[in-house]
Amino acid sequence: QMFVAVNEAVREYMYQPRYDPSHDYEHIQRVVNNAHQLYIAEKKRNSRLITPGFDIVAMYLGAMCHDIGKSKYLEAGKTQEQVVEELIMQCGATSELARKVALIPVNVSFTPQYTSDEPSRIFDFIKAHPEHAFVQDADRLDGLGAIGQGLSFVFGGANARRRQQTAHVGVILHWERFQDYLPLMKTTVGREEAERRWQEMHRYRTEWNRES
């Protein structure tokens, strides 16, 4: 029942006007599925990330809520951690579980890993919360490949600044931003899938350049 309640709350939250179609409920569904597939595959390989204390409930909830309260869509006067924690508790989760899950979305973002001591901090965080590695990889995979390129175009249509640019800029920006994703993947299977999707982006860019 808690999962059903969280799912409904997340769906309602993600269809608010301030969220554009590049970050909507369908994105959430794909990230949850990615996290699930990564978990199954890594478990078969006896991944060191799946420790005895691995909390699969926290992983699924973290994937479901990873874009809730995201900074660029956040309501004034609240932190992302507060928004996520409140939503999950309203759906029947214990305060302990809610606090644990709320830490995952805060650390999912790509940008912070290129600031100060963030890379080492994230790895330390994953040691304590291995579920985060699966959610982060799952989210990043959705930015790669055919889906990722499509989302780049969608965001270009929704963002005021990007609307002043050409469609070609959408291809360039997608390439430039996500070329740094591969070395940042935390799971073995996630890295392999990221490489496959990156090759798909190579093919797409080659065809785009040929046609243009």
Domain boundaries, the chain: 2-211
**Tens digit of each residue's pLDDT (9 = 90 or more) over 106-125:** 888 755 444 445 567 778 88
The predicted pLDDT at position 169 comes to 67
The predicted pLDDT at position 160 comes to 47
As a whole number, the mean pLDDT across the chain is: 85
Q: pTM, whole model, 2 decimals? A: 0.86
CATH tag, 2-211: 1.10.3210
Beta-carbon contacts of residue 67 (< 8 Å; ≥ 6 apart): 14, 19, 23, 27, 28, 73, 105
The CA-based angle 80-110-79, given to 5 degrees, is: 10
Q: How confident is the model at residue 208 (pLDDT cuts 50, 70, 90)?
A: confident
**Tens digit of each residue's pLDDT (9 = 90 or more) over 165-197:** 566 666 666 666 677 778 889 999 999 999 999
Tokens standing for residue 6: 């969280």
Distance CA 194, CA 99 (A): 30
Distance CA 178, CA 184 (A): 10
The mean pLDDT value for 72-79 works out to 73
The mean pLDDT value for 27-46 works out to 97
Residue 128 burial by Cβ neighbours in a 10 Å radius (0-12, 13-18, 19+): exposed
71 or 190: which carries more pLDDT confidence? 190
Show the DSSP H helices in 15-79 as ranges: 25-44, 56-65
